[in-house]
Amino acid sequence: MNAAFEPEKSLRSPSELAEAGLIGRDRLAALQDVAARYAVAITPEVARLIDPANPADPIARQFVPDAAELIAEEGESADPIGDDAHSPLEGLVHRYPDRVLLKLVNACAVYCRFCFRREMVGPGKGALSPHALAAALDYIRATPQIWEVILTGGDPLILSARRMTRVLDELAEISHVKVTRIHTRVPAVAPERVSPALVRALRAYIRKDRACFVVLHVNHARELSANARAACARLIDAGIPMLSQTVLLRGVNDETQTLGALMRALVECRIKPYYLHHADLAPGTAHLRTTIAEGQALMRALHGRASGLCQPSYVLDIPGGYGKSPIGPSYLVADGTTVEDFTGRRHQYPPHQKTPLDGAPQGTPPGDI
């Protein structure tokens, strides 16, 4: 999009953004105050997608700092989803019985302006120390109900393939850990990091009879550039399935056509839409949040008008550490016998009605879903 500027390295300060033409110099003073508090990084891949002539550009809105970030709203918190309340050890969050988050690194390739861990990540924050990582792995070994480990951060895929291999080798030796999930923006924002060595590391893990899923954080269809699609294809072609997570953001993807285009683009890339997150109550992010009612209306608009493959689960991470809950619209009216179709028309379903399978001859197929 920004064809006049071809950056060779990540842009990490308002001054560099101004030199690249991504912001006006009249904004420098205000944005330097923002950058002093919250990290800034825009990779060359992302910089090329930004249209500096469009003040409402949805890519810029996600990554270019805004003076509104210094305005704190009531209810916002440095730990909006309550990680600390469920962190038995440094780098580990154990909120649900069968899975843990393992925060390998506290830095990212890019820094989102709505990040719910924005107070905890940034340049120089570093990776989990060898001692802390060993303690976290010991905890996982000693907790047999842990079936899944979610590698997060920061962004775990900024680590080298060698370091990722070491972590995956350790996890593969824990008999009760059957699944590893990697949450990342890297394939879209720094696709060159999806190297043959990284693909081999993930492939080696699944060859040890373990499942590995890569979950791509992407919020707008334009982020799925040709380079990003090729990076995702390298993973998928190697047998590593991909899911997506998207944050619902005002001015980025809060229109039916925009959100639908993203979900279809993901499916075209063989990536299954997984979560649509309601934006968390992170400090200075009110200008990017929608209402829950707006999110539910968007999900209603997608339902029936886009393939079932394109339907993510709309979820809210309850403030205080109480976990995710689905908050999508309900189509069953309170009386329990009236259901709405995707156009909003209401239909009666008799109470105590047998399902089509009840009393059906053995082997009768239930039909396509």
Catalytic, out of 61, 103, 113, 117? 117
Catalytic, out of 57, 79, 83, 280? 280
Token reading at 96: 């649900």
Catalytic, out of 79, 83, 108, 289? 108
Token reading at 15: 């001054």
Does the active-site annotation cover 324?
A: yes
Catalytic, out of 96, 139, 322, 331? 96
Nearest to 45 by CA among 186, 156, 155, 253: 186
CB 311 within 8 A of CB 302: yes
Ranges assigned E (strand) in the chain: 92-96, 99-103, 148-152, 179-184, 211-217, 242-248, 271-278, 313-317, 324-326, 338-340, 346-348
Ranges assigned E (strand) in 36-153: 92-96, 99-103, 148-152
| Residue 275 DSSP SS3 | strand
| CA 97/CA 176 separation, integer angstroms | 13
Torsion of CA 125, 126, 132, 136, to 10 degrees: 90
145 to 97, 182, 219, 295: CA distances (angstroms): 7, 20, 33, 34
Does the active-site annotation cover 95?
A: yes
In this structure, the chain runs to a length of 369
Catalytic, out of 27, 37, 48, 99? 99
Does the active-site annotation cover 269?
A: no
Catalytic, out of 125, 250, 324, 331? 324
Q: Quickly tell me which residue has 């949805």 as its tokens.
A: 58
Cα dihedral across residues 338, 309, 209, 89: positive or negative:
negative
Does the active-site annotation cover 310?
A: no
Does the active-site annotation cover 99?
A: yes
Does the active-site annotation cover 117?
A: yes
Catalytic, out of 57, 112, 113, 275? 112
Token reading at 7: 């950056």
CB 203 within 8 A of CB 240: yes
Catalytic, out of 115, 232, 269, 310? 115
Catalytic, out of 95, 222, 272, 300? 95
Does the active-site annotation cover 203?
A: no
CB count in 10 Å sphere of residue 23:
21
Catalytic, out of 66, 83, 254, 317? 317
What phi, psi does 346 have (nearest 5°)? -105, 145
R_g (Cα) of the chain, nearest Å: 22
- Show which residues are catalytic: 95-96, 99, 108, 112, 115, 117, 280, 317, 324
